[in-house]
């Protein structure tokens, strides 16, 4: 039979209030000896507090909502795992929701999470959201809980946000190819994505810096998914490129697959670099130099910022992390 707080109080010869204060580590005049006795009895009888009752008292659910755009994307799956690990260390649980990269789903899911009583939100918004910032702002202005944009953001200085410098990452990838002697460099971009736009800007910046003429016929518009990379293989087969910067690893995987089907040797005939440095590359033996975004840093930084906002601590609300190119 489950031990109740009333029974625990009777065993310790104290009031229910005293047990609650001790087990929730609240300030009190209770002696250390009595505190130790209450905690010992709670452990001995496997007492588990009624979370619903505790939440009514503290007005805290000890849960955080995480919104991601695509659970099938390994980057976001890894991010969700890291966030959950960090939240657990802070005594919080995670509610994970997936928007399928739809801004309408974003708005609905944010409302649902708030209605469930979460204490805060970590938001990796959909690619569509940039075109609907006004609707977002309207919803966010009504929230009564803190939130942090993670990885994808509107880049407003007043938004709590943690993200990587995508333009720098795009520059690093293209710079590597140029330094390796490649001149005719294509870009498998993702212009509908905010991050994709900045990675593309980095590509352009590197070409400009090294005085390599830009050729827009070498740019293919993908969508960060494997299939768009695969379809890009048909586009590049006759473009006479010697290298391609793919804006994420998933598209790079699809591109490599299709090029090999077409009899094009990668990396001998065409050198490809990616973005995200997913573990699948080494696991599958794929030669794919890639820009690494340290997911551990991203997740831990986002959780730390949100915890500070929940505790209403004065803190720096914009954190820009630097990617690293991995050969």
Strands (E), 2-135: 63-68, 93-98, 120-123
271: DSSP letter: E
pLDDT at position 286 over 70 = yes
Residues 139/165, Cβ–Cβ less than 8 Å = no
The per-residue pLDDT of the chain, averaged, comes to 92
Residues 129/113, Cβ–Cβ less than 8 Å = no
**Per-domain residue ranges of the chain:** 5-58, 63-164+295-326, 166-292
Residue 51 confidence class, pLDDT cut points 50, 70, 90: low
Q: Residues 112-135: what's their mean pLDDT?
A: 93
103: tokens are: 């801004």
pLDDT at position 50: 62
Residue 59 confidence class, pLDDT cut points 50, 70, 90: low
Beta bridge partners of 163: 320
Distance CA 190, CA 253 (A): 15
- What is the tens place of the pLDDT at every residue in 105-119? 999 999 999 999 999
Torsion, CA 89, CA 91, CA 97, CA 99, rounded to 10: -60
pLDDT at position 60: 73
pLDDT at position 3 over 80 = no
pLDDT at position 172: 98
How many Cβ atoms from other residues are within 10 Å of residue 143's Cβ? 14
Of 16-30, 155-169, 216-230, 267-281, the least confident: 16-30
pLDDT at position 165 over 70 = yes
Homologous superfamily of domain range 63-164+295-326: Response regulator (3.40.50.2300)
pLDDT at position 21: 85
Residues 282/300, Cβ–Cβ less than 8 Å = no
Which ranges of the chain does DSSP label H, i.e. alpha helix?
5-12, 16-23, 32-44, 51-58, 74-89, 103-115, 133-142, 166-179, 194-209, 226-236, 249-261, 280-283, 295-310
- Among residues 156, 81, 147, which one has the least CA distance to residue 118? 147
14: tokens are: 């104290």
pLDDT at position 246: 98
pLDDT at position 54 over 80 = no
Fold match, 63-164+295-326 / 166-292: yes
Q: Which residue has the tokens 């995508």?
A: 166
Which residues have C-beta within 8 Å of that of residue 316, sequence separation ≥ 6?
none
Out of 1.20.1270.10, 1.10.599.10, 1.10.260.40, 1.10.10.10, select the CATH number for domain 5-58.
1.10.260.40
| 3-state class percentages of the chain: helix first, strand second, coil last, to nearest 5 | 50, 15, 35
Distance CA 288, CA 232 (A): 17
pLDDT at position 285: 85
148: tokens are: 């942090």
Q: Residues 272-288: what's their mean pLDDT?
A: 89
Q: Residues 187-208: what's their mean pLDDT?
A: 94
Out of 3.40.50.2300, 3.30.930.10, 3.10.290.10, 3.40.50.300, select the CATH number for domain 166-292.
3.40.50.2300
pLDDT at position 313: 85
Residue that wins the pLDDT comparison between 40 and 86:
86
pLDDT at position 42: 84
Residue that wins the pLDDT comparison between 17 and 60:
17
């Amino acid at each position: 039979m489950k031990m109740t707080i009333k029974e625990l109080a009777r065993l310790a010869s104290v009031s229910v209030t005293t047990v609650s204060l001790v087990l929730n580590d609240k300030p009190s005049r209770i002696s250390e000896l009595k505190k130790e006795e209450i905690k010992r009895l709670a452990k001995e009888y496997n007492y588990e507090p009624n979370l619903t009752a505790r939440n009514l008292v503290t007005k805290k659910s000890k849960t955080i909502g995480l919104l991601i755009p695509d659970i099938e994307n390994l980057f976001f799956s890894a991010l969700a795992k890291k966030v959950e690990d960090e939240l657990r260390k802070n005594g919080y649980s995670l509610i994970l929701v997936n928007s399928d990269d739809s801004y309408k789903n974003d708005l609905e899911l944010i409302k649902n999470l708030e209605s469930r009583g979460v204490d805060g939100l970590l938001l990796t918004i959909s690619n569509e959201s940039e075109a609907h910032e006004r609707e977002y702002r309207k919803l966010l202005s009504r929230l009564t809980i803190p939130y942090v944009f993670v990885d994808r953001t509107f880049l407003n200085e007043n938004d709590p946000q943690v993200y990587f410098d995508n333009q720098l990452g795009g520059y690093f990838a293209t710079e590597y190819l140029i330094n390796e002697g490649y001149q005719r460099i294509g870009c498998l971009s993702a212009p509908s994505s905010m991050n994709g736009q900045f990675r593309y800007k980095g590509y352009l910046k590197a070409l400009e810096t090294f005085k390599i003429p830009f050729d827009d016929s070498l740019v293919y518009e993908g969508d960060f998914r494997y299939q768009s990379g695969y379809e890009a293989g048909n586009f590049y087969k006759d473009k006479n490129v010697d290298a391609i910067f793919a804006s994420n690893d998933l598209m790079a995987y699809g591109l490599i697959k299709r090029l090999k089907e077409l009899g094009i040797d990668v990396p001998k005939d065409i050198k490809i670099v990616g973005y995200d440095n997913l573990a699948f590359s080494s696991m599958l033996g794929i030669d794919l130099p890639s820009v690494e975004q340290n997911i551990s840093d991203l997740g831990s930084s986002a959780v730390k910022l949100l915890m500070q906002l929940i505790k209403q601590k004065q803190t720096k609300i914009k954190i820009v992390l630097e990617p690293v190119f991995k050969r």
